[in-house]
Structure 1
């Protein structure tokens, strides 16, 4: 688990889950899997994305970073995922 981004509006945490079986040559079994947890601090909602959506999110962030974005630019990109956030943030 690694905190990737934390602003007044959003937090993004990356989760990498190692594969359960060791990789053999030419086998995908050793690939890691995981995803991103995105939290909207004002709406108090969150989402966990993985797979193709997580890869799309990652590529979008990488493209954004190439242009030296401001915090507002990054927040605007992350806000595009807000409509998917249905899980309320619960502290325990």
Structure 2
């Protein structure tokens, strides 16, 4: 788990979960499976994205970073597009 971003509006955490196929546990390389958790602090909702959606998110962030030093507002605007899909309420225990 790696915290990638923390602003007044959002938190983005990357998860890398090592997995292995049953028949490859003893002999083959491990595969990685993971994604990104996006927490909307104001809406108090979160979403976990993986697969193609996570890849699209990562490519979008990389494109923003390649353009130069983005402002917090620019990053928040991009993250908000994904955060709007969040339906899971944030629960503290």
TM-score normalized by the length of structure 2: 0.88
Shift of 1:33: 0.7
Aligned to 1:66: 66
- Which shifted more, 77-86 or 13-22? 13-22
Aligned residues: CA RMSD: 1.4
Aligned to 1:32: 32
Q: Distance in 2 between matches of 1:76 and 1:37?
A: 16
Query: Which runs of 4 or more aligned residues in structure 1 lie more than 6 Å from their structure 2 counterparts after TM superposition?
Result: none
Query: Per-residue CA shift, 1:20-76, capped at 9, x if unaligned?
Result: 33674xxxx632010000000000000000000000000000001112210100000
- Residues 22 and 30 in structure 1, CA contact (< 8 A), matched pair in contact too: no
The gaps in structure 1 that reach 5 residues or longer are: none
The gaps in structure 2 that reach 5 residues or longer are: none
Number of equivalent positions: 88
Asked if 1:75 corresponds to 2:73, the answer is no
Q: Distance in 1 between matches of 2:11 and 2:86?
A: 13
